Amino acid sequence: MKIKIFFISLIGSVLILLGSTSLVYLGLLSVKNINIDTLTNKLFQENTVILSWAMNNVNAESLEGMRIPGSWAEIMVVDDENLIITASTQPGHKGQYMYKLPNLLDQAQGIIAAMQIKNTSQIVTDDYMVAIKPLNGNTTLIGLKPKTWERDLLSVQDSLIKQNMKNVKMALVIFLGAGIVVAIIISVIVSLSTGRSIDALLKALEELSLGNFEAETPAGRERENKSFSASFLRIKTSLTMALERLGER
């Protein structure tokens, strides 16, 4: 009886532990499955909108003293005829040909076409964005926005998330192990206390069945024990009365 109670109590406790641990682990998996590339593209698009807005409000004559956000690479003024950079937020690029810059060279055809038709436009690639705005006097304002900043930012956050997930997994393993130990201890205590009471009750019932009317049930605080004791007393009284009647006959 004690062994059955022990296993029933242990299995119930372990199932509860496994259920709660599984719920937490499933929550971790949902965080792990977040697509960082999607977040990177979304953030890049938002910064692209901001850069385009800034291009419409920037003062081309004060570019060299202008401070731009770290997520932007450069804003420059290019001469439409000779493609020379006449002003830039990167002073070292002033006087250079536009096609000397690798990112602009990759999209030179689209940039030159936009410059020729004096059309405000954007060229977006997987790695950067070029914003083009025509100015007065055969010049064009060009803004360059790489995706490197967004990738680096979210890469750091992704590393932190993975490290935190690793720590949480370790905590879950420790919690599960400690919970199983506690469950075993509780199951032993429950089986010993409950089993001892049941064994005593069964022994009293066995004594009564063998004709020992002096047998008594042990005192207990549990409602089940009191109910069993009352039932035991009724059986004992009934048997005693029945035997007395038989004796009278």
Q: Which of 41, 227, 11 is CA-nearest to residue 147?
A: 41
Q: Is 165 helix (H, G, I), strand (E, B) or coil?
A: helix
Domains annotated on the chain, with CATH? 2-33+153-248 (no CATH), 55-146 (3.30.450.20)
Report the distance separating Cα 17 and Cα 4, nearest Å: 20
| SS3 category, 120 | coil
Q: What's the pLDDT score for residue 128? A: 82
State how far the Cα of 157 lies from the Cα of 39, in Å rounded to an integer: 11
**105 touches 88 (CB < 8 A):** no
Residue-level pLDDT at 227: 65
Average pLDDT, consecutive stretches of 10 residues, N- to C-terminus, the chain (249 residues): 68 79 76 72 80 77 78 86 87 84 75 82 82 85 84 79 81 83 79 63 67 62 60 70 63
Q: What is the pLDDT of residue 242?
A: 66
